Structure 1
Amino acid sequence: MTTKTTAEEPEQTVVRPFAAFLQEQSGGQLHDELSEKLHGLIEAIKETGKGGSISLKIDIKPIAGTDGRTLTVTDSVAAKLPKTERPKSIFFATDDGNLSRSDPRQPVITGLRELDTPATKTQLRSAN
């Protein structure tokens, strides 16, 4: 927006705050979406200890047949959240090419049983 001043003063351009545009675009949905994505990003960063980002794309085009002052404005928001590490498992390769949770080369111990000794009967001793 340009304001006219006296002949001695140059013209001044008043720049509208970007935040005001964000709150009005798409009936306020853009501002709400950005707020939610920012909140989700911060939670994911706290959980993973890794960084992420939010990208805002705004497309502005003149409407054909107008004087160039009537514009369409569209937006898109993308969030890149940090990925959580998936848990790892240990498997052993068998001779026939399969995976096994137990080592096929390790002998299986049989005949083990749990003792029924109450903890109160066991006394700890110290060696001084």
Structure 2
Amino acid sequence: MTDRRRTDPLTGEVIEDPPIRPFADWLREQANGKTHNELGEALWDLIARVEETRKKGTLALTITVEPMPKSDGNVLVISDNIQLKLPEFKRDASVAYVDRNGNLSRNNPRQPTLTGLRDASAPESTTIREAQ
């Protein structure tokens, strides 16, 4: 990593390579732990959906840091945004025709409708006699 230097705002002391707090420690405290919990749930949901669909998905955390308005500079507002993009299941397509009114129809409006048709299948109560 790079060399880091910080000047203590109270004493003016220059601190070379100050110890850096682990990110996970901060994350557990962000929004009273809500961000940490939501990320855990989102990751679980993402893993489950990837296993089901065999497609990739993404989970992104965006952290915004800005100075607190009307503060002396050492008060910061930290906000976060979690974006979860689950892979989609394959959806079946269907075929439809456009009728003369511009509506979708399952029937082809250019094909004539046959009338007078009846079901010629044998009734269920009919039995076949065995040859004697």
How big is the shift at 1:76? 1.2
SS of residue paired to 1:14: coil
2: distance between equivalents of 1:100 and 1:17? 61
Cross-structure match for 1:115: 122
Give the Cα separation in 1 of the matches to 2:102 and 2:66: 60
Give TM-score scaled by structure 2 length. 0.65
1:38-93, Cα deviation, whole Å (9 max, x unpaired)? 11222222232221111111112233432x33322111111122223333122234
**SS of alignment partner, residue 20 of structure 1:** helix
Aligned-pair identity in percent equals: 35
- Given candidates 34, 38, 44, the residue that maps to 2:39 is 34
Q: Which residue type is aligned with residue 35 of structure 1?
A: G
Out of 31, 34, 53, the position equivalent to 1:48 is: 53
- Which position in structure 1 is the counterpart of 2:71? 65
Task: Using structure 1 for the length normalisation, give the TM-score.
Answer: 0.66
RMSD: 3.2
Amino acid at match of 1:65: S
Residue in structure 1 matched with residue 30 of structure 2 by the alignment = 25
After TM superposition, the structure 1 stretch with the greater mean CA deviation from structure 2, 25-34 or 73-82, is 73-82
How much does 1:98 deviate?
A: 4.3
Q: Greater shift after overlay, 97-106 or 46-55?
A: 97-106
- Compared CA separation, residues 103 and 112, structure 1 to 2 (3 A): farther
Deviation string, structure 1 residues 88-126 (Cα, Å, up to 9, x no partner): 1222344665433234426537122331357x95xxxxx
User: What are structure 1's unaligned runs of at least 5 residues?
Assistant: 3-10, 122-128
CA shift in 2, pair 1:74/1:92, >3 Å: closer
Count of residues in Structure 1 that have an aligned counterpart in Structure 2: 113
